[in-house]
């Protein structure tokens, strides 16, 4: 999943197109053959599967799909890749509302509350999933809890992908920040963090930290919500009521964020890709980023490790979301197809070690506990994030790539650029959120 | 097909009794409707029906998920009129319309006038001025997004080479709309230019000959002959341009997605967001109708202004 808005990975989609057409070809061939045989149980189920994973994630997902297709001769999964964010969710909602959605789709767990109550997706039948050896106990508690809606599992998580910190081990070593275990000694307060960053800046001569945010509400929100949740504060969005929020914690988090961009700790302004490029060049000691950037950094070839974002306000917390499988509601459910979908999902979950190589923390615990995963670095150094992840507050308008995150950018970007006061920016955003909460709930 | 009927009518009307005229007229009518039918069907199904259905939808709480289908009267309109985001996006659309229409008309006029002076290789100029208009909005947006890139872009690179400060084109709320206007100007000015050029070449040469005999210089001729002669064209260009600018969506959506800080979000994008990403189809239909009303008012005003001028 590229979280950037720059369209890249052209050859990836071409490859997927080729794979798709090859699959299509074999499907036509297969249906032709069964037509001759005429036996019902030899029928091949075509499963339409929509997802929003492109770039490195897209390649990994395609491999998982191909592997699953080989394991199940009776079903062929045809993926359709759509652009991350509003384009994907708009199409998925419209397809479901129109009654002709794909049999299976990937959603961010944080977007499920906008879909489940409106009847756009169906709950999972855990009994049927148990036939393939997947049960509730196989998921980390926080992830499993998130997949529930009104007591029913509406999504089956593939992973959790938290917002974490990558750091340059060489820079950290010269700055004297590495502990005996070779990992960064995590600062425990905002002040300590700024000092750490300044020490690293002395080594890199450029910046201590890389964090690009310009134009991306998602990116600003990820860091903000991590810091906010580290205050141990809650945030609740209930339609018809004002937002329940700890205003002081929110403003303190924003003020700390704004204090980072002083051209010493971090560059004054820059977008996501600028931040990643700076860290990859070795011009900074740390990078705040989603785990999905791991393959990009590994390709850059710099010496680095990763950890959860240091606990600066007492309570460990990390913003995260999950890629989750959902069953878009069909007008007529084809039982054979649905069974094939369950089989496919269980196969992908069991094969999710390769998904972990792309940086994500698998949701399926048997994979996390496997020897192979325990030896995977730097993944294992932030695997503890699964216990401290914080999802977006639930509502029909929140979640990854939602307009709500765009609204956050509208009010907060000027705070981070030093043009507005943190309290003004926050109050404006809170007011905007309250307006949304006061409107009729469309789902 | 009209010519045989017109030549036949006087002869037959002279001889034939009135009843036959009526039946003939009826047959002509049937033929006429038959010819118009394909367009009429298209017009009814894809224009009139959506227009009516959209208005009905704006009276309901309809959402994309199918929830609350009930009639709620004008509640959506009341909500929209009190919605500061709607006013802001409407303001952005009007702002863009004003600051884009002026240069799009003036620059087109200047370009046409320069060409009409008699530059060599006219076809080359005409082609290069008009060529950008043939590009898709996505292509233009991508070009300009790269050129406006604060670090790697051509524009900032050139600015820094001549010692000017770099500008955060698409990331500065005060500059972003102008950046979009510049891109739009480059993209669509060719169409207005072509209209102006055609109009200029239609001005009779005798006017200029007479004026120069009377001792009028080039500037005098431009202001006293060319501009007044172009008046009807100018009215038409302004009308077309205002309507085109009010529809602004593509470039903004692709270049800034309405940002930074909502400073470029046009009302069409707000309609799209409320309806499709925010699920509230009924409410977004209501905003569309408010916007539609505004366009009707602008068109009617322009129609009257144009009529008074030509009268």
Question: Would you list which residues of chain B are within 8 Å, Cβ to Cβ, of chain A?
Answer: 61, 63-68, 79, 150-151, 168, 170-171, 173, 256-262, 273, 276-280, 283
* C-alpha A4, offset from chain centre: 13
pLDDT for A32 equals: 41
Residue A316 makes CB contacts below 8 A (sequence gap 6+) with A230, A308, A388
A147 touches chain B (CB under 8 A): no
Residue A398 makes CB contacts below 8 A (sequence gap 6+) with A110, A113, A114, A237, A392, A404, A405
Q: Do A90 and B276 touch (CB under 8 A)?
A: yes
Query: Would you list the domain boundaries of chain A?
Result: 44-158+322-374, 163-320+402-437
* Burial (0-12, 13-18, 19+ Cβ within 10 Å), A357: middle
Question: Under CATH, which architecture does the A163-320+402-437 domain have?
Answer: 3-Layer(aba) Sandwich (3.40)
- Per-residue tokens: B246: 């009010």
Task: Assess whether pLDDT exceeds 50 at residue A11.
Answer: no
Q: Note the pLDDT tens digit of each residue in A81-117.
A: 998 888 898 889 888 888 889 999 999 999 998 888 8
pLDDT for A370 equals: 95
Q: Note the pLDDT tens digit of each residue in A129-162.
A: 999 999 999 999 899 999 998 889 999 999 999 9
A215 touches chain B (CB under 8 A): yes
What distance in Å separates the CA atoms of residue A341 and residue B206, rounded to the nearest whole number? 80
Q: Note the pLDDT tens digit of each residue in A248-271.
A: 999 999 999 999 999 999 998 788
- When the pLDDT of each residue in chain A is averaged and rounded to a whole number, the result is 88
Of the candidates B86, B93, B85, which has an alpha carbon nearest to the alpha carbon of residue B245? Answer: B93
Q: Do A410 and B259 touch (CB under 8 A)?
A: yes
pLDDT for A86 equals: 84
Task: Assess whether pLDDT exceeds 80 at residue B5.
Answer: no
Sign of the four-CA dihedral B59, B60, B63, B66: negative
A44-158+322-374, what's its fold? D-Maltodextrin-Binding Protein; domain 2 (3.40.190)
What distance in Å separates the CA atoms of residue B275 and residue B285, rounded to the nearest whole number? 8
Identify the H or E element spanning A128: helix A126-130
Task: Write out chain B residues lying below 8 Å of A397, CB-based.
Answer: 278
Mean pLDDT of A363-382: 94
pLDDT for B309 equals: 64
* Reported confidence tier of residue B7, pLDDT bands at 50, 70, 90: very low
A90 touches chain B (CB under 8 A): yes
Is residue A165 a contact partner of residue A308, using CB atoms and an 8 Å limit? Answer: yes
Q: Do B259 and A440 touch (CB under 8 A)?
A: no
Of the candidates B225, B176, B198, B196, which has an alpha carbon nearest to the alpha carbon of residue B105? Answer: B196
Nearest CA in chain A to B85: A432
Identify the H or E element spanning A361: strand A361-362
What distance in Å separates the CA atoms of residue A359 and residue A296, rounded to the nearest whole number? 10
Q: Note the pLDDT tens digit of each residue in B54-87.
A: 999 999 888 887 777 788 888 899 999 998 889 9
Question: What is the DSSP annotation of A251-294?
Answer: HHHHHHHHHH-SSSSB-SS--HHHHHHHHHHTS-SEEEEEGGGH
3-state secondary structure of A410: helix
Task: Write out chain B residues lying below 8 Å of A414, CB-based.
Answer: 173, 261
**Out of A214, A409, A443, closest to residue B279 by CB:** A443
Q: Note the pLDDT tens digit of each residue in B233-274.
A: 998 899 889 989 999 999 999 998 887 878 899 999 999 989
Site of tokens 């009209």: B2
* C-alpha A377, offset from chain centre: 19
* Reported confidence tier of residue A40, pLDDT bands at 50, 70, 90: very low
Task: Assess whether pLDDT exceeds 60 at residue A18.
Answer: no
Q: Where are the beta strands (DSSP E) in chain B?
A: none
Q: Do A440 and B61 touch (CB under 8 A)?
A: yes
Q: What is the 3-state secondary structure (H, E, C) of A286-335?
A: EEEEEHHHHHHHHHHCCCEEEEECCCCCCCCCEEEECEEEEEECCCCCCH
* Reported confidence tier of residue B4, pLDDT bands at 50, 70, 90: very low
Q: CA–CA distance from A185 to each of A172, A264, A273, A386, B131 (Å)?
A: 9, 20, 27, 20, 60
Q: Note the pLDDT tens digit of each residue in A157-214.
A: 999 999 999 999 999 999 999 999 999 999 999 999 999 999 999 999 999 999 999 8
pLDDT for B16 equals: 52
Picking from A112, A442, A443 by the largest number of B CB atoms within 10 A of its own CB, the best residue to mutate is A442
Task: Write out chain A residues lying below 8 Å of B279, CB-based.
Answer: 93, 114, 118, 396, 442-443
Nearest CA in chain A to B279: A442
From the CA of B136, how many Å to the nearest CA of chain A?
17
CA contacts within 13 A on the Cβ side of B65: 22
* Burial (0-12, 13-18, 19+ Cβ within 10 Å), B92: buried
Could you give phi then psi for residue B166, rounded to 5 degrees?
Answer: -75, 150
Nearest CA in chain A to B263: A410
**Out of A97, A271, A403, closest to residue B278 by CB:** A403
Q: Do B260 and A215 touch (CB under 8 A)?
A: yes
pTM (global) more than 0.90: no
Could you give phi then psi for residue B125, rounded to 5 degrees?
Answer: -65, -45
Is residue B169 a contact partner of residue B179, using CB atoms and an 8 Å limit? Answer: yes
CATH fold match for the domains A44-158+322-374 and A163-320+402-437: yes
Sign of the four-CA dihedral A375, A376, A377, A383: negative
Q: Do B278 and A274 touch (CB under 8 A)?
A: no
pLDDT for A3 equals: 43
Q: Do B65 and A94 touch (CB under 8 A)?
A: no
pLDDT for A5 equals: 41
């Amino acid at each position: 999943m590229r979280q950037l808005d720059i369209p890249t990975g052209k050859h990836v989609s071409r490859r997927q197109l080729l794979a798709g057409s090859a699959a299509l070809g074999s499907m036509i061939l297969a249906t032709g053959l069964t037509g001759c045989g005429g036996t019902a149980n030899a029928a091949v189920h075509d499963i339409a599967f929509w997802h929003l994973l492109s770039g490195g994630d897209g390649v990994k997902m395609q491999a998982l799909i191909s592997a699953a297709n080989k394991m199940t001769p009776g079903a062929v999964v045809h993926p359709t890749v759509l652009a991350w964010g509003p384009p994907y969710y708009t199409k998925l909602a419209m397809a479901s509302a129109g009654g002709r959605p794909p049999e299976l789709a990937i959603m961010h767990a944080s977007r499920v509350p906008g879909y489940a109550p409106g009847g756009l997706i169906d709950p999972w039948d855990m009994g049927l999933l148990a036939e393939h050896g997947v049960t509730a106990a196989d998921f980390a508690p926080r992830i499993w809890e998130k997949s529930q809606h009104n007591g029913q599992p509406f999504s089956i998580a593939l992973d959790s992908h938290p917002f974490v910190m990558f750091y340059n081990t060489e820079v950290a070593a010269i700055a004297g920040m590495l502990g005996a275990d070779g990992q960064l000694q995590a600062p425990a307060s905002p002040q300590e963090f700024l000092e750490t960053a300044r020490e690293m800046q002395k080594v890199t001569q450029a910046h201590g930290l890389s964090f690009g945010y310009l134009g991306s509400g998602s990116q600003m929100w990820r860091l903000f919500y991590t810091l906010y949740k580290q205050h141990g504060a809650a945030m609740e969005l209930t339609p018809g009521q004002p937002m329940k929020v700890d205003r002081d914690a929110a403003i303190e988090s924003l003020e700390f964020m704004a204090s980072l961009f002083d051209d010493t700790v971090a560059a004054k302004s820059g977008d996501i890709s600028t931040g990643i490029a700076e860290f990859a060049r070795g011009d900074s000691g740390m990078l705040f980023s989603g785990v999905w950037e791991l393959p990009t950094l590994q390709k850059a070839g710099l010496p680095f490790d990763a950890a959860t974002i240091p606990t600066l306000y007492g309570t460990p917390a990390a913003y995260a979301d999950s890629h989750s499988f959902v069953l878009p509601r069909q007008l007529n459910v084809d039982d054979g197809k649905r069974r094939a979908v369950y089989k496919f999902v269980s196969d992908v979950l069991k094969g999710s070690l390769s998904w972990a190589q792309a940086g994500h923390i698998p949701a399926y615990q048997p994979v996390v506990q496997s020897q192979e995963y325990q030896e995977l670095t730097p993944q294992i150094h932030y695997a503890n994030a699964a216990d401290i992840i914080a999802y977006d507050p639930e509502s029909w308008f929140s979640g990854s790539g939602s307009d709500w995150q765009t609204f956050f950018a509208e009010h907060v970007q000027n705070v981070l650029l030093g043009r507005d006061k943190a309290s003004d920016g926050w109050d404006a955003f809170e007011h905007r959120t309250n307006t949304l909460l006061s409107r009729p709930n469309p789902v | 097909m009209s010519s045989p009927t017109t030549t036949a009518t006087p002869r037959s009307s002279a001889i034939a009794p009135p009843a036959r005229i009526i039946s003939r007229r009826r047959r002509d009518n049937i033929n006429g409707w038959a010819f118009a039918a394909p367009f009429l069907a298209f017009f009814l199904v894809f224009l009139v029906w959506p227009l009516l259905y959209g208005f009905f939808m704006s009276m309901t709480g309809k959402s994309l998920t199918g929830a609350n289908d009930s009639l709620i009267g004008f509640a959506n309109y009341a909500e929209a009129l009190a919605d500061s985001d709607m006013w802001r996006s409407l303001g952005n659309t009007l702002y863009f319309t004003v600051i884009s229409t002026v240069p799009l008309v003036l620059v087109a006029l200047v370009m046409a006038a320069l060409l009409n002076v008699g530059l060599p290789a006219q076809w080359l100029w005409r082609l290069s001025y008009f060529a950008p208009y043939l590009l898709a909005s996505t292509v233009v947006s991508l070009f300009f997004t790269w050129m406006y890139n604060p670090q790697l872009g051509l524009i900032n690179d050139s600015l820094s080479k001549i010692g000017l400060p770099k500008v955060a084109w698409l990331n500065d709320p005060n500059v972003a709309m102008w950046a979009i206007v510049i891109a739009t100007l480059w993209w669509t000015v060719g169409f207005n230019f072509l209209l102006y050029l055609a109009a200029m070449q239609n001005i009779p040469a005798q006017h200029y000959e007479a004026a120069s005999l009377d001792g009028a210089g080039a500037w005098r001729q431009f202001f006293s002959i060319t501009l007044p002669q172009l008046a009807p064209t100018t009215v038409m260009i302004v009308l077309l341009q205002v309507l085109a600018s009010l529809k602004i969506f593509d470039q903004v959506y692709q270049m800034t997605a309405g940002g930074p800080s909502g400073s470029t979000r046009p009302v069409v994008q707000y309609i799209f967001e409320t309806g499709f990403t925010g699920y509230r189809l009924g409410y977004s239909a209501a905003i569309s109708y408010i916007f539609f009303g505004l366009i009707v008012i602008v068109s009617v005003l322009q129609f009257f202004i144009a009529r008074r001028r030509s009268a």
